Amino acid sequence: MAERQSGSVQASNGKATSAGTAYNIDLNSFSMRLKKFYSHWNEHKSDLWGSVDVIAIATPPPSEDLRYLKSSALSTWLLGYEFPETIMVFMKKQLHFLCSQKKASLLEVLKTSAKEAVGVDVVIHVKVKTDDGSTQMDAIFRAIQAQSTPTIGHLAKEVPEGKLLDTWSEKLKNSGIELRDITYWLSDLFSIKDSGELTNVKKAAFLTASVMKNVVVPNLENVIDEEKKVTHSSLMDDTEKAIVDPTKAKVRLRAENVDICYPPIFQSGGKFDLRPSASSNDDYLHYDPPSVIICAIGSRYNSYCSNLARTFLIDANAQQSKAYGVLLKAHEAATSALRPGNKISDVYQAALSVVEKDAPDLVTKLTKSAGTGIGLEFRESGLSINAKNDRILKQGMVFNVSLGFQNLQSPEDKPKNQEFSLLLADTIVIGEKPEVVTSLSSKAVKDIAYSFNEEGDDNEEDGRPKVKADAHGQETLSKTTLRSDNQEISKEELRRQHQAELARQKNEETARRLAGGGSGSGDNRAASRTSTDLIAYKNVNEVPPPRDCMIQIDQKNEAILLPIYGSMVPFHVATVRTVTSQQDTNRTCYIRIIFNVPGTAFNPHDANTLKFQGSIYLKEVSFRSKDPRHISEVVQGIKTLRRQVVARESERAERATLVTQEKLQLAGNKFKPIKLFDLWIRPVFGGRGRKMPGSLEAHVNGFRYSTSRPDERVDVMYGNIKHAFFQPVENEMITLVHFHLHNHIMVGTKKTKDVQFYVEVMDVVQTLGGGKRSAYDPDEIEEEQRERDRKNKVNMDFQSFVNRVNDLWGQPQFSGLDLEFDQPLRELGFHGVPYKSSAFIVPTSSCLVELIENPFLVITLAEIEIVNLERVGLGQKNFDLTIVFKDFKRDVLRIDSIPSTSLDGIKEWLNTTDIKYYESRLNLNWRQILKTITDDPQSFIDDGGWEFLNMEASDSDSEQSEESDQGYEPSDVQSESESLSGSDSESLVESEDDEEDDEEDDEEEEEGKTWEELEREASNADREKGGESDSEEDRNRRKTKTAFGKGRAPPPVSRASASSSAKRPLPSSSAKRPLSSSRPFSGSSSIKRPKNR
């Protein structure tokens, strides 16, 4: 692929940039690297630089060819941009540039930095466009010859291009000065990358691996699955488009900063070339089994390269599988040998040793090189991984480890399958241990080996896909299967297979976690709060003087003074529990004050209780007065003061539990803060004043939201953000950004883990009345257009803010936070009731959220243990979704009243996100279930883990038990409902209240009939006698009713038990939330029968 270059300066990514674009050279980076250049030169002048006194580098003009030149690499490394047709001459005291006027204007800023960094003077020679630069060259040579017997180092292997470089090369040869080649020594300078360079390499590697995983592999699977005829060159074009447009690979990198390292390579059909200079031909992709497909791609970010190669096996035969296994092992051995202090030859020897041991016959087929160093150049000279290179590996080096077997023979009949090659390549950064930065694309056998139904397969008769054994010896389906002409596996069957595998993994994971002695991340329930000492007055002198014998309220010291036996006794208002007043018929008023006393019901634990054990406490006190007005003022004053103190203490206690946050570092001179204006915040600030909009600013280490009021300010640190969401307006009225935090913060006086900033895009309140307006009303059309424009503008402003913050979070210092704005996927959303009202709940890539209605719902998918779909059955219009978290001490979350039409979509979403789900016909008592698991985890593990929720398995077990019980008829026949209620299966859904009621009923029946039953029997007896005029049919009907009325009265509909619910659906007129044994019944006491008196 050609490099598109035009204009006077080329951007660091190698792409074209217009001449009018403003460029800024990073002076800090320039100073640091110029100092490194001169230090390396001075330190290794004799052994590496050939004792040269002057270094002359000439960069060629722009070219459409894809090439890697040392001159261009040095320009990019030092200046951040490639300066075509520029001559740089480095001397001990001077640094000369010969270039055009436009480039000279950019280089002027280097003079001060170069002087401060290494003490050299920057001299810029400007060449007129029509001139060949001879005059300026003569001035440079005079400066060179001013040194005694100078020696010039240059790049001898680079052929001069263009008029300027031809003239410079001619003058250099005719100068009579000794010339020496420094190509090899520049490679040593570039070999160790600084942190900024490593970041560029890692971003390039992430893009390369993402293209392989998200573009190349799906494309190959689609082509093979649908048996398409696609050429290698067309696959190359599609892959190249994905690299230069990172959004196609689901990567958020700016397109102007990326480019390809080389045209992507696709090879198959027996024609393989493992050299980096290979290319994709116009032959069709060959995938007839057994076949091999090789794909190699490389991308650049800010001119830094990365490389990745994978081999895909299609119904591989034994020879191909063995060869790939040996190659994979050798590649991993070479990667492990890339450690500081080792020789480069040790890396190749590690790979060679594996091949010699496991497959000696393949040694001659192994590539002679295992890769090269990589960076600004795709192949850094002097860093080739072979058996003869004895250079020492150092931390900060980057290598492309590329290993393969060339031209292996396979005993196949088809000519295109008789010869094959294998290739693996990864980009690796040397640190304390090797870091494979392209590991996102797996090279494991299970991920690159494909198995399809073809002739000769053992499973052809039953039409099922071929099965492979995994590492545990269990049979699993291969990664993908071709669709058969006669049979296609249904989506439901694939989902069931995946869920079965998830069930096995989930039970193993839960068993490991429970065996480790933990049930989750800890107990989230709030601990009991202890109060501090309450002191109204430190000594008696602070008590105000008494004013008559009346109740007084001391607002300043938060105390009330009560007249007791003629003395004013102070009480802190926090000790008051309630205060009431009443008036009798004689217009006498009474005030009653009840205090918090240890030992009374609902009294919170107080540290003072333990501190003053054995003390006598005043429980309550009453006063009488003839002045109702004064009594009213006192009651109101005590209540107001108590409310203020309780609110303050509550806020203080909330703040005491907060995790200390780091201090916000304002942007200052480092960079201009990213701002978003006219936002509202939720939760809102306290106070009764008019609410004010504010602005959100992104600073160095966090966000700050502030309004025009000085006390309304919120800081959200980047390190405290767990999830960040951006939701543009669609069917709602607001556009928002939402932060879900790790630790609580205070917004005003509220403690919260969720902070939201939003803008109302459309008016929530609209004017009613005035009749129906015409659809063609110009005012109506204009109003709609204004709403659309406003919606688009707000969305664009938010999107710009989000993109800039994402770029900020992409910097190296935030790499450990893994922050990125997530956007809800509305097409996967569903309606439900997570709290008290119905809401539209939407999944994201990592969460399940509802960000419109308050309280907000944010559930991290990684924290979910399993999901249980409850009340799922025929005839049900709604069902419930219960989420069980990995922390078993955390209450489950239930989303009620989800329409049954959303059931299949939710199942598919859960399946694709690898979340195990179960189905049940009833709501379960999850608090009791989780308590049972945590009390005896070993029994839970031994009984199969979560498989007790498997409705299909339980149904089959119940059918078997029914068959085994056929022919048995008990002597005491019970009713159907009673037999069901006594079954073991009800223990999961039966509430504790039901059990208590049943026990009480049994006791009552033993004692005799109740008054209610006696009255009912008497009434029935009267009706049985009836009048003589009644017909025989009426009397029979009454007898039937009476028969059902004897004994125990039928329970009301609202008291339906779990066993009866399983037999018949609830009536459609029932409440929104189905009856659940996990929730107490409001009318449970109404069915208890009193005992006989």
Interval 791-796 mean pLDDT = 88
| 159: confidence class by pLDDT, cuts 50, 70, 90 | confident
For residue 344, what pLDDT band results from cuts at 50, 70 and 90?
very high
Given a cut of 60, is residue 1077 above it in pLDDT? no
Query: SS3 letters for 175-205?
Result: CCCEEEECHHHHHHHHHCCCHHHHHHHHHHH
**Please, which pLDDT band fits residue 464 given cuts at 50, 70 and 90?**
very low
Please name which of 12, 374, 393, 426 lies closest in space to residue 198, comparing C-alpha atoms.
374
3 state SS of 833: strand
By C-alpha distance, which of 920, 953, 947 is closest to 1062?
Answer: 920
Q: Over the Cα atoms of the chain, what is R_g?
A: 40
pLDDT digits (tens, 9 = 90+) for 91-121: 989 999 999 998 899 899 999 999 999 999 9
- Alpha carbons 256 and 804: distance in angstroms, whole number: 15
**What rounded mean pLDDT belongs to the chain?**
78
Res. 1085: pLDDT tops 50? no
pLDDT at 116: 92
Q: Which residues of 439-448 are buried (b: 16+ CB within 10 A; e: fewer)?
A: ebbebeeeeb
Interval 547-575: pLDDT, tens: 777 888 888 888 898 888 888 888 888 88
Compute the distance between CA of residue 136 and CA of residue 652 in angstroms, rounded to an integer: 75
**Could you give the CA distance from residue 47 to residue 191 in angstroms, rounded to a whole number?**
17
CA 937/CA 943 separation, integer angstroms: 10
Which token pair is 223? 């082509």
* 120/1081 Cα distance (integer angstroms): 87
Q: Which pLDDT does position 1086 carry in this prediction?
A: 35
pLDDT at 953 over 60: no
Question: What is the mean predicted confidence (pLDDT) over 28-33?
Answer: 91
Residue 1074 has pLDDT above 50, yes or no: no
What's the whole-number mean pLDDT along residues 699-704? 90
What gap in Å lies between CA 734 and CA 678, rounded to an integer? 13
User: What is the secondary structure of 989-1021 as a DSSP string?
Assistant: T--HHHHHHHHHHHHHHHH---HHHHHHHHHHH
CB 1055, CB 1071: distance < 8 Å: no
Distance, CA of 547 to CA of 566 (rounded, Å)? 12
- Whether 817 shows a pLDDT value over 90: the answer reads no
> How does residue 979 score in pLDDT terms, banded at 50, 70 and 90?
very low
pLDDT-derived band of residue 1087, with 50, 70 and 90 as boundaries? very low
Nearest to 444 by CA among 569, 312, 302, 320: 312
Q: What is the mean pLDDT of residues 867-874?
A: 88
Strand (E) or helix (H) holding 758: strand 750-760
The mean-pLDDT minimum among 529-543, 728-742, 901-915 falls in 529-543
Half-sphere exposure of 703 (CA within 13 A, CB side): 25
Question: What is the sign, positive or negative, of the torsion defined by CA atoms of 461, 465, 467, 468?
Answer: positive
3-state SS class at 436? strand
- Six token digits for residue 952: 């299909």
Bridge partners for 310 per DSSP: 295
SS (H, E, C) 605-655: CCHHHHHCCCCCCCCEEEEEECCHHHHHHHHHHHHHHHHHHHHHHHHHHHH
Phi and psi of 355, rounded to 5°?
Answer: -65, -45
DSSP H or E run through 942? helix 937-942
Measured between its terminal Cα atoms, the distance across the chain in Å is 100
The mean-pLDDT minimum among 415-419, 432-436, 1008-1012 falls in 1008-1012
Q: Across residues 872-879, what is the average pLDDT?
A: 85
Q: Which two tokens stand for residue 143?
A: 């400066």
* Full DSSP string of 732-757: SSEEEEEEEEEEEEEETTEEEEEEEE
Q: What is the band of 895 on the pLDDT scale with cuts at 50, 70, 90?
A: very high
pLDDT over 50 at 276, yes or no = yes
| DSSP letter (8 states) at residue 165 | H
Nearest to 754 by CA among 660, 681, 809: 681
CB proximity list for 1024: less than 8 A, separation 6 or greater: 1035, 1038, 1039, 1042
pLDDT of residue 733: 85
* Strand ranges (E), 315-383: 371-373
Percent over 70 (pLDDT), the chain: 76
DSSP percent split of the chain into helix, strand, coil, nearest 5: 35, 20, 40
**Half-sphere exposure of residue 494, counting CA atoms within 13 Å on the CB side?**
13
Q: For residue 683, say if its preceding peptide bond is cis, omega within 30 degrees of 0.
A: yes
| Cβ-based neighbour number of residue 353 at 10 Å | 13
- Please name which of 252, 263, 262, 236 lies closest in space to residue 203, comparing C-alpha atoms: 252
Please answer whether residues 563 and 622 qualify as being in contact, where contact means their C-beta atoms are separated by less than 8 angstroms.
no
Please say if the pLDDT value at position 529 is more than 90: no
Least confident of 130-134, 366-370, 966-970, 1006-1010: 966-970
Strand partners, 55: 90, 153
Output DSSP code: residue 61.
Answer: P
Residues with Cβ within 8 Å of residue 927, at least 6 apart in sequence? 891, 892, 1078
Tallying the residues shown for the chain, one arrives at 1093
1020 Cβ contact list (under 8 Å, min separation 6): 1042, 1045, 1046
Q: What gap in Å lies between CA 265 and CA 245, rounded to an integer?
A: 18
Query: Does residue 1034 sit in helix, strand or coil?
Result: helix
721 contacts 705 by C-beta, under 8 angstroms? no
Range with the lowest mean pLDDT among 481-490, 507-516, 613-622, 847-856? 481-490
Q: What is the mean pLDDT of residues 398-402?
A: 95
∠158-159-165 over CA atoms, to 5°? 105
Instruction: Kindly tell me if the per-residue pLDDT of 1078 is higher than 70.
Output: no
Distances (CA, A) of 461 to 452, 469, 481: 14, 20, 15
The helix-helix angle for 318-336 and 344-358 (nearest 10°) equals 150
pLDDT, tens digit (0-9, with 9 covering 90-100), for 903-916: 999 999 998 888 99
Sequence-distant (≥ 6) Cβ neighbours of residue 288 within 8 angstroms: 314, 414, 416, 417
Classify strands 258-260 and 178-181 as parallel, antiparallel or unpaired: unpaired
**Using CA atoms, how far apart are residues 192 and 197, in angstroms rounded to an integer?**
9
Q: Which range is least confidently modeled, 286-290, 298-302, 309-313?
A: 286-290
Mean pLDDT of 41-45: 83
